[in-house]
Amino acid sequence: MSAPPSPDEGLTAAQLAAKHGLTVSGARPSLFEYVRQLWDRRHFILAFSRAKLTAQYSQAKLGQLWQVATPLLNAAVYFFIFGMLLGAREGIPSDIYVPFLVTGVFVFTFTQSSVLAGVRAISGNLGLVRALHFPRASLPLSFALQQLQQLLYSMIVLVVIMMAFGSFPDLSWLLVLPALTLQFVFNSGLALIFARMGSKTPDLAQLMPFLLRTWMYASGVMFSIPAMLADKNWPGWITDVLQWNPAAIYMDLVRFAMIDGYDSSFLPAHVWAFALGWAVLAGGVGFVYFWKAEERYGRG
């Protein structure tokens, strides 16, 4: 005698799960729920970023001093190559070129390091991703926060350099706070974008240093973009595009805030609007782009 048909016969897996109050394990939450989960884990994000910062140079004898020494050494190399050998100081008063250069190196390194850390945020922490359940955006955000903390340590040295070259603390220095806040949002968005891309394409981590180096040379870290292109007879829109690229925007804002003699004539038009726009665009697009693949991280 055949068994009676099951009341669940003919139901799809989704219908069957809904009937019995089941949910898919590891399913992507709604966007607002995802934001709430990240906020609930804010202490983990902060603690993880601090732990990574402490461990970064734990094997070196100079320890955390390398957080400041590394960008300073880069600035010294760029000063010798670009400032002395190639004459990249054109258009920048000689008495502010060193603060101009060091500020550019420090601020660009903030973005560069955030992107490089973001690329490896998922692929380099697969053990953690597969072992624990937490919003995966916690990882690239914590790496961006780690780079912000490292920049703040570097800012102490930057203040000393500014004062050594005649730029003393002023109310304008407070503009550094909104400038770096907007840059942090921008960097976090990039870290999220490249974290998703790097999770499926680990080789991207090998390509990024070359792309970032090209971006650095096009952003006016070592030279004034308008002065460098003044005698090239190129269309004016090329200068505008280079000045409006986000790396150049955030460097110019910090330079304007801290360097006496680097006045508004060095800034492109609508600089604060562009700074805000880049932050909102990268932060929003990056967050949604990363969230869309939440359930796929660490699988396959």
CA atoms of 292 and 290, how far apart (whole Å): 5
State the virtual CA torsion across 116, 118, 124, 128 in degrees, nearest 10: 160
Q: What is the DSSP string of 145-201?
A: HHHHHHHHHHHHHHHHHHHHTT----GGGGGHHHHHHHHHHHHHHHHHHHHHHHHH-
What pLDDT shows up at residue 19?
A: 60
CA atoms of 100 and 221, how far apart (whole Å): 8
Residue type, 170: D
Tokens in use for 190? Answer: 């990039």
Question: Who contacts 31 (Cβ-Cβ below 8 Å, separation ≥6)?
Answer: 288, 291
CA atoms of 270 and 285, how far apart (whole Å): 22
Tell me how far apart the 2 most distant CA atoms of the chain are, in Å.
99
Whole-angstrom CA distances from 173 to 68, 147, 166, 169 are: 20, 21, 14, 6
Burial 81-105 (b: 16+ CB within 10 A, else e): ebbeeeebbeebeeebbbbbbbbbb
Residue 87 Rama label (left phi>0; alpha psi -120 to 50; beta): left
CA-angle at 287, arms to 133 and 185, nearest 5°: 115
Query: What residues in the chain have per-residue pLDDT under 50?
Result: none
What pLDDT shows up at residue 120?
A: 93
CA atoms of 143 and 147, how far apart (whole Å): 6
Express the helix, strand and coil content of the chain in percent, nearest 5 each: 70, 0, 30
Model pTM score: 0.87
